[in-house]
Structure 1
Amino acid sequence: MSRFKRGGKIDSRAGFRTEVSSSPIPNGLLKAARKSGQLNLSARGLTEVPLNVWRLNLDTPEEANQNLAFGADDRWWEQTDLTKLIISSNKLETLSENVKLLPALVVLDVHDNQLTTLPKELGELEQLQRLVISHNKLTELPAELWGLTTLRSLHLQQNQLQQLPEEIGQLVNLDEIDLSNNQFTGVPDGLGNLTKLVKLNLSHNKLKSLSPAIRNMKNLRMLDCTHNQLESVPPVLAQMESLELLYLRHNKLRLLPELPQCKTLKELHVGNNQIVGIEAEYLKHLSALSVLELRDNKLTALPDEVTLLEGLERLDLANNDLSSLPCTLGNLPKLKSVSLEGNPLRGIRRDLIAKGTGELLKYLRSRIKEEPGDSAEQPQTAMTLPSQARVDVHSIKTLKALNYSEKQEAVIPDDVFDAVGGGPVASVNFSKNQLTSVPPRLLELKDTVSDINLGFNKLTSITVEFCSLKHLSHIDLRNNFITELPSEMEGLAKLRSIILSFNRFKAFPDFLYKITALETILISNNQVNGIDPARLKMLDKLSTLDLQNNDIMQVPPELGNCTSLRALMLDGNPFRNPRAAIVAKGTDAIMEYLRSRIPT
């Protein structure tokens, strides 16, 4: 019978072509793999791995059946065993037991698939050193896995694992293991047997404590416990002499860990916790520290001993409750970056902070030089008025700062304003007195003043005339008896931060919704009963909102749409949702919860 069908199209090359069965893996790729010992099949849409891949080193290659002369590069009988196989980013739901047919594998990467189980035959890969099975749907692991004692790198992140067996301690040659983004509530003591471990990632789990057995990890350089539920860290952590990077962000720590033997620690990240203070003694041991990240905590003060961190290059203090900084901070020789946004700082002008770290440190150094000389420049003589002796005239002239705080006086003496002498004043501090009203002569400074502190007085109201201070960028009215503020304050268009904590507000001041420059609003410990999330969203620069200890019965889910918020404090309100456990996790968890409750 003719090989040409009637009416069919004749292929002139048909007699010289060898029929090849279709395969998702090009033959040329397999041929190259025999020579190099490496095969990359990532992102090919595979639902299963073809059998000829598993039998790559067993079957005679197809080209051996062809009547061809072999050059030096085509000697299939001189093939190399496959040592590296990458089948990541496919659609695999299972991994074939035929993986055992590649016993020479050193690297196996199957991350980003749909695997729910692993074959026990994986334990027969006795030369395997690197196993990447992250970003799958694994809920358990085969017991045979723990027999792969040659493993040096194990990536299990982004799965659904809830526990690890003690047998994990048999992987004694591991130098890195990534267990992040699972559902671990604890880790076994056997983990402490991994004495060669250099990197340990436990982030994004549900850990409430760390095993004391980590003391045995004498070579550990990086420990990441970000996004867990740690309220403290075991004292043995302080014995890890090789530790260089420690990440403890987004936990429930109330104190900075004491790390007396961590002489090599270079970076300490403890942001988004509940740290209220730093023991000065703890800082003395961290001589090698170059990065200290303390943002989004509840710090009220920074100890002078921070200046012992002579290697410090970056200091992040954003979104705390710092009212001042130690002047000696300016002497740190390597400090290049200081983040301070979201703090109610007094005595340091906002425009100076905006100029960057260099100008800030220069200013702090200038204060060090001035402090010893202040008394010499303001000698008490017969020609000096008593009230003037209590006013730092030098500070007014050089720093544009008028400070008459902690005098417990009911009225600011005229001599204090007279000392200004018509010069520009940017910062005014009349806190901790007995003022019952805003000093009228404050309006004399309206052309230059940008920062006013009237906290810790007995103010019951603020006059409309106060609203003529159009250059104000920071107002501190905490710890007074104020129940409301004049609506005319919406005209303070340059206002970036306002502190109204510990007053008697029953409603969120309406004018605050209208000042688009606002970055920080602190109104804790009042009687505020609610907020308008739709209007709050219009404040696209607002990063810190403190509503703690008010009378908020319901948190509107739409508050989750205020994406500019980096610090949202809601503790101490009588609402039921979000639950206390979610609130305790911090701003990210609260915002995520609220967004999930927004009606669609």
Structure 2
Amino acid sequence: MSRFKRGAHVDSRAGFREVKEECPVPSGLLKAARQSGQLNLTQRGLSQVPQSVWRLNVDPPEEAKQNLSFSASERWWEQTDLTKLLLSSNKLETLCEDIRLLPALVVLDVHDNQLKTLPASIGELEQLQKLILSHNKLTELPLELWKLTNLRCLHLQQNLLEQLPAEIGQLSYLEDLDLSNNKLIAVPDSLAKLNNLIKLNLSFNNLKSLPPAISEMKNLRMLDCSRNQLESVPPVLAQMASLEQLYLRHNKLHFLPELPSCRTLKELHCGNNQIEVLEAAHLKHLSSLSVLELRDNKVKSLPEEITLLQCLERLDLTNNDISSIPCGLGSLPKLKSLALEGNPLRTIRRDLLTKGTSELLKYLRSRIQEQPDGNPKDEPKTAMTLPSQAKINVHAIKTLKTLDYSGKQEASIPDDVFDAVSDSPVANVNFSKNQLTELPPRLLELKDTVADINLGFNKLSTIPVGFSTLQQLVHVDLRNNLLTLLPMELEALTKLRGIILSFNRFKTFPEVLYRISTLETILISNNQVGNIDPIRLKMLDRLSTLDLQNNDIMQVPPELGNCTSLRALMLDGNPFRNPRAAIVAKGTDALLEYLRSRIPT
């Protein structure tokens, strides 16, 4: 009996026909690459790179084999050599030795794959300047890699490297080296030969010490050694005259490093260590310092010399053992963020810490002006004092320019409160923790002087258009209300630097915020915001803090990584899957870098 079904059609030539495997890379893409010199194969599910890619500049294209006529712009023999090849976010476990057939490559990006090894022929890519190998499974690197002496950028983060050979010192033109998130227990002294290195990231490794030779990197501007096992920093680190950013967070340091020659240092991050003592010698030379981060340490006191840091913009002392702070901090001209929560402070009330930096600095300035015996001058008492004014701190109005009527749980602000202001210029208004359902109309009477308004913990459902007349406003706190939108007229608040909208009912990011170019801080956590526009956020070039925690953001746009002015980006508590929680937990810089790596090119 025939093994073929009756009536079935059988192709008698099937056994002799050549089976042609379909190429996963469209021919049109290859054709465009011959003209542009660039080929983007990101996220194409490739388990291996097709031979047609490696031989792009070697073999004639399929059209040429068919004897087709070509226009002047399509002559394959006049093609452009491939200089940029993007293979990121695929399933590659190896790269073929045929990579040598692309000797003109300047950029090779193979991040986010499954690579365990690299071919020795990678050393023949003599023109290569940028090599991205991050987020793979590399345990070692071929010696031929160190022959790529034209490399400017080498990213090896998120691999399984346990050591580096001394030959890494041969990459003398290297400017950006990222070795974070590996298993390094030491780095070779030859690293010091990288004289042109500007950025070095050694974070998330197992380093117990740094080689003293690292101080020879005279052009290094950013050094990140966070999340290691460092117990001390070599004193010669102080000789790095170009250093601008130093990250030593999450180590085992007991002392802040002395950096007498680092006069260009702008940011010093030493949080989550075991630092107990902060001495004048640690600070007196840091005249350019703008960020000092010492949170989660054991610091007991601050030297008066900290008030000499005239460029300081952010000081984070959260969760230490500090009982008092120098009042001179209130006079630092550029200080915008002072974090003191979690300290056993005796001289500052706990509720004052929740009112923000502006209120805290004003309090410290007021302490400077007090009499030597520490008691503020008594306000003269008169028989004309109204009963309602007994609830109002008249002294605060006169000396601190503060109108405080908070925590009364009242549905409206009595006229007597505003009458108490009289002709005194008021800069700060605190009506928080009441039952206000609308903005007090007489608040607008203070429009010429008020700079800071706290309306948090009320029942406001709308903000009137008239709020835009408060054009001296610098900070506004509207947390814990019932707001769903903000009027576009608030665009007129051209001095506004900070706004708190947490715990409201916003379903969309307020449109007007994109238009207030002076904003430095936006806190809008615990709402229902579903998305943000990263292109418009990037236009806010002063924005340094953006809190979007506990919203409904399903997708984080990669372009958010271009908002490089951000120093604090908080996204926890949103339902997005990517970036993963482990990446978010690494902090703002790592998160922004990851997002940038995901931007389609």
TM-score (norm 1): 0.60
Summarize the alignment of residues 510-525 of structure 1 with structure 2, pairs less than 5 Å apart.
none
Provide the residue aligned with 1:72 in structure 2: 72
Structure 1 residues 374 and 300, CA gap change in structure 2 (3 angstroms)? closer
Tell me how far apart the structure 2 counterparts of residues 47 and 334 of structure 1 sit (CA, whole Å). 53
Alignment check: 8 A CA contact 2:370 2:377 kept: no
Provide the residue aligned with 1:220 in structure 2: 220
1:147: Cα distance to partner?
1.1
1:160 matches 2:160: yes
Summarize the alignment of residues 140-289 of structure 1 with structure 2, pairs less than 5 Å apart.
140-289=140-289
Tell me how far apart the structure 2 counterparts of residues 247 and 125 of structure 1 sit (CA, whole Å). 34
The amino acid that maps onto 2:233 is: V
The amino acid that maps onto 2:200 is: L
1:326 matches 2:321: no
Q: Tell me, what secondary structure is at the counterpart of 1:64?
A: helix
Tell me how far apart the structure 2 counterparts of residues 234 and 97 of structure 1 sit (CA, whole Å). 42
Structure 1 residues 20 and 282, CA gap change in structure 2 (3 angstroms)? same
1:368: Cα distance to partner?
0.5
Deviations 1:515-569 (A, max 9, x none): xxxxxxxxxxxxxxxxxxxxxxxxxxxxxxxxxxxxxxxxxxxxxxxxx9xxxxx
The amino acid that maps onto 1:286 is: L
Provide the residue aligned with 1:545 in structure 2: none
Provide the residue aligned with 2:315 in structure 1: 315
Tell me how far apart the structure 2 counterparts of residues 311 and 60 of structure 1 sit (CA, whole Å). 62
Q: Tell me, what secondary structure is at the counterpart of 1:246?
A: strand
Tell me how far apart the structure 2 counterparts of residues 95 and 188 of structure 1 sit (CA, whole Å). 27
Structure ID, larger Rg: 1
Provide the residue aligned with 2:338 in structure 1: 338
1:21: Cα distance to partner?
5.6
Summarize the alignment of residues 103-502 of structure 1 with structure 2, pairs less than 5 Å apart.
103-372=103-372, 374=374
Provide the residue aligned with 1:579 in structure 2: none
1:72: Cα distance to partner?
3.5
The number of residues matched between the two structures is 376
1:304: Cα distance to partner?
1.2
Provide the residue aligned with 2:493 in structure 1: none
Tell me how far apart the structure 2 counterparts of residues 21 and 163 of structure 1 sit (CA, whole Å). 41
The amino acid that maps onto 2:293 is: E
1:376: Cα distance to partner?
10
The amino acid that maps onto 2:137 is: K
The amino acid that maps onto 1:252 is: K
Deviations 1:113-156 (A, max 9, x none): 11111111111111111111111111111111111111111111
Q: Tell me, what secondary structure is at the counterpart of 2:372?
A: helix
Q: Tell me, what secondary structure is at the counterpart of 1:370?
A: coil
Tell me how far apart the structure 2 counterparts of residues 183 and 230 of structure 1 sit (CA, whole Å). 14
Alignment check: 8 A CA contact 2:185 2:205 kept: yes
Alignment check: 8 A CA contact 2:279 2:302 kept: no
Provide the residue aligned with 2:51 in structure 1: 51
1:343: Cα distance to partner?
1.2
Deviations 1:222-267 (A, max 9, x none): 0000000001100111000000000000000111110000000010
Structure 1 residues 376 and 79, CA gap change in structure 2 (3 angstroms)? closer
Tell me how far apart the structure 2 counterparts of residues 165 and 334 of structure 1 sit (CA, whole Å). 45
Provide the residue aligned with 1:61 in structure 2: 61
Structure 1 residues 375 and 101, CA gap change in structure 2 (3 angstroms)? closer
1:373: Cα distance to partner?
6.6
1:88: Cα distance to partner?
1.1
Tell me how far apart the structure 1 counterparts of residues 36 and 46 of structure 2 sit (CA, whole Å). 22
Tell me how far apart the structure 2 counterparts of residues 100 and 375 of structure 1 sit (CA, whole Å). 79
Tell me how far apart the structure 1 counterparts of residues 197 and 325 of structure 2 sit (CA, whole Å). 39
Tell me how far apart the structure 2 counterparts of residues 104 and 116 of structure 1 sit (CA, whole Å). 25
The amino acid that maps onto 2:60 is: T
Q: Percent identity?
A: 70
Q: Tell me, what secondary structure is at the counterpart of 1:144?
A: helix
Alignment check: 8 A CA contact 2:319 2:340 kept: yes
The amino acid that maps onto 2:144 is: E
Deviations 1:26-71 (A, max 9, x none): 0000000000101111111111101110000000111223454423
The amino acid that maps onto 1:203 is: S
1:281: Cα distance to partner?
2.0
1:372: Cα distance to partner?
3.1
Tell me how far apart the structure 1 counterparts of residues 131 and 42 of structure 2 sit (CA, whole Å). 15
Structure 1 residues 80 and 370, CA gap change in structure 2 (3 angstroms)? same
The amino acid that maps onto 1:34 is: R
Tell me how far apart the structure 2 counterparts of residues 301 and 117 of structure 1 sit (CA, whole Å). 51
1:93 matches 2:61: no
Q: Which runs of 5+ in 2 are unaligned?
A: 1-6, 10-18, 379-392, 397-405, 407-549, 551-584, 587-601
Provide the residue aligned with 1:402 in structure 2: none
Provide the residue aligned with 1:447 in structure 2: none
Structure 1 residues 20 and 78, CA gap change in structure 2 (3 angstroms)? farther
Tell me how far apart the structure 2 counterparts of residues 271 and 210 of structure 1 sit (CA, whole Å). 19
The amino acid that maps onto 2:365 is: R
Deviations 1:146-183 (A, max 9, x none): 11111111111111111111111111110111111111
The amino acid that maps onto 1:338 is: L
Q: Tell me, what secondary structure is at the counterpart of 2:369?
A: helix
Summarize the alignment of residues 503-582 of structure 1 with structure 2, pairs less than 5 Å apart.
none
Q: Which runs of 5+ in 1 are unaligned?
A: 1-5, 9-18, 379-395, 400-423, 425-563, 565-586, 589-600
The amino acid that maps onto 2:232 is: S
Alignment check: 8 A CA contact 2:371 2:377 kept: no
The amino acid that maps onto 1:152 is: R
1:270: Cα distance to partner?
0.2
Tell me how far apart the structure 2 counterparts of residues 152 and 27 of structure 1 sit (CA, whole Å). 32
The amino acid that maps onto 1:272 is: N
Alignment check: 8 A CA contact 2:161 2:184 kept: yes
TM-score (norm 2): 0.60
1:87: Cα distance to partner?
0.8
Provide the residue aligned with 2:565 in structure 1: none
Q: Tell me, what secondary structure is at the counterpart of 2:44?
A: coil
1:78: Cα distance to partner?
1.4
1:369: Cα distance to partner?
0.7
Tell me how far apart the structure 1 counterparts of residues 221 and 20 of structure 2 sit (CA, whole Å). 53
The amino acid that maps onto 1:248 is: L
The amino acid that maps onto 1:185 is: I
Q: Tell me, what secondary structure is at the counterpart of 1:197?
A: coil
The amino acid that maps onto 1:355 is: K
1:309: Cα distance to partner?
0.6
1:371: Cα distance to partner?
3.6
Alignment check: 8 A CA contact 2:46 2:91 kept: yes
1:7: Cα distance to partner?
10
Tell me how far apart the structure 2 counterparts of residues 237 and 325 of structure 1 sit (CA, whole Å). 29
Tell me how far apart the structure 2 counterparts of residues 154 and 107 of structure 1 sit (CA, whole Å). 10
Tell me how far apart the structure 1 counterparts of residues 262 and 325 of structure 2 sit (CA, whole Å). 26
Structure 1 residues 328 and 371, CA gap change in structure 2 (3 angstroms)? farther
1:81 matches 2:110: no
Q: Tell me, what secondary structure is at the counterpart of 1:35?
A: helix
The amino acid that maps onto 2:320 is: N
Tell me how far apart the structure 1 counterparts of residues 214 and 142 of structure 2 sit (CA, whole Å). 24
1:22 matches 2:14: no
Tell me how far apart the structure 2 counterparts of residues 353 and 282 of structure 1 sit (CA, whole Å). 26
Tell me how far apart the structure 2 counterparts of residues 140 and 68 of structure 1 sit (CA, whole Å). 47
Deviations 1:65-104 (A, max 9, x none): 3454423332222100001111111111111000001111
